[in-house]
Amino acid sequence: MGAVCIPSARLWYVGTDTAKDLIYGRLCVEKRGAGFVHFSKDLPQEFYTQLTSEARVPQRVAGGEAYRWMKSPGARNEALDSTVYAVFCTHMLGLHLYTGKMWERLESIVQPPTADLFRVEQTAEVSPADIPRETQSVEQPSEPASVEPSAMKTPSSPVLTAPLPPVAPTKPALPRRAIQRPFRQSHSARTW
């Protein structure tokens, strides 16, 4: 008891009070831009009820008074807790330090080279006049000749009947780590 296990899991201290202060401060930003929080239009009202289910209240402690986040009785707060952990993960990955240029670079790496992956280029119809005369057959045989199965040759490559989709231009190979993330000294998010 109390001993450190060598092959143990890494413990991360999440400063939940600090993260909730950050989230609630960002929720107060009304103008789009830096610090504004974007949510999907498809989220139900229950998500927003859970996100705002806690309040910052003063509590008496030994040294005087401190503020703590307290949940309303009977309220659920899973959305707020999930948002706190998402904020923690973004800070641990250093995403909060990304510049606009870094985001554009990341987007160019992960975005597909074509706008629509399922679009097929329309090919022009080929008329019989476009086919050289040598390749056109003059007469169609009325009955196919019978050939024994052992004498039939299988083609070495399959015959393609549909046109192939256009090949996307290849991008030059990127280094293994395309975006440099800032190095974090601490495993604690209390220094946000």
Output b/e per residue, 176-189; b: 16+ Cβ within 10 A: eeeeeeeeeeeeeb
Assigned domain for 69 exists: yes
Assigned domain for 189 exists: no
Assigned domain for 138 exists: no
Assigned domain for 143 exists: no
Residue 135: in which H helix or E strand, if any?
Answer: none
Please choose, from the candidates 46, 182, 69, 47, the residue with its C-alpha nearest in 3D space to the C-alpha of residue 37: 47
Q: What is the pLDDT of residue 159?
A: 54
Q: What is the pLDDT of residue 117?
A: 63
Residue 1 CA neighbour count, 13 Å, CB half: 0
DSSP 19-41: HHHHHHHHHT--SSSTTPPP--T
Q: What is the pLDDT of residue 4?
A: 72
Please choose, from the candidates 23, 14, 6, the residue with its C-alpha nearest in 3D space to the C-alpha of residue 186: 14
Assigned domain for 170 exists: no
Assigned domain for 118 exists: no
Q: What is the pLDDT of residue 83?
A: 94
Q: What range defines the domain where residue 80 resides?
A: 12-111
Name the packing angle between helices 78-93 and 16-27 (round to 10°): 100
Q: How far is CA 75 from the centre of its chain?
A: 31
């050939």: which residue's tokens?
A: 147
DSSP 69-87: EEEPTT---HHHHHHHHHH
pLDDT in tens, the chain (192 residues): 677 777 777 788 888 999 999 999 999 999 998 888 999 999 999 999 999 999 999 999 998 999 999 998 999 999 999 999 999 999 999 998 999 899 889 988 888 666 666 766 666 666 666 666 665 555 555 555 565 655 555 555 555 555 666 666 666 665 555 555 655 555 555 555
**Whole-prediction pTM value?**
0.54
Q: Which amino acid is at 83?
A: T
Contact 70, 57 (CB under 8 A): yes
The rounded distance, in Å, linking the Cα atoms of 159 and 18 is 65
């001993």: which residue's tokens?
A: 3
Assigned domain for 85 exists: yes
Q: Which amino acid is at 134?
A: E
Q: How many CB atoms lie within 10 A of CB 27?
A: 16
Number of H helices, E strands in the chain: 4, 2
Q: What is the pLDDT of residue 172?
A: 64
Q: What is the pLDDT of residue 33?
A: 85
Q: What is the pLDDT of residue 47?
A: 95
Which value, in Å, is the radius of gyration of the alpha carbons in the chain?
Answer: 32
Burial class (CB in 10 A: 0-12, 13-18, 19+), 52: middle
The domain total for the chain is 1
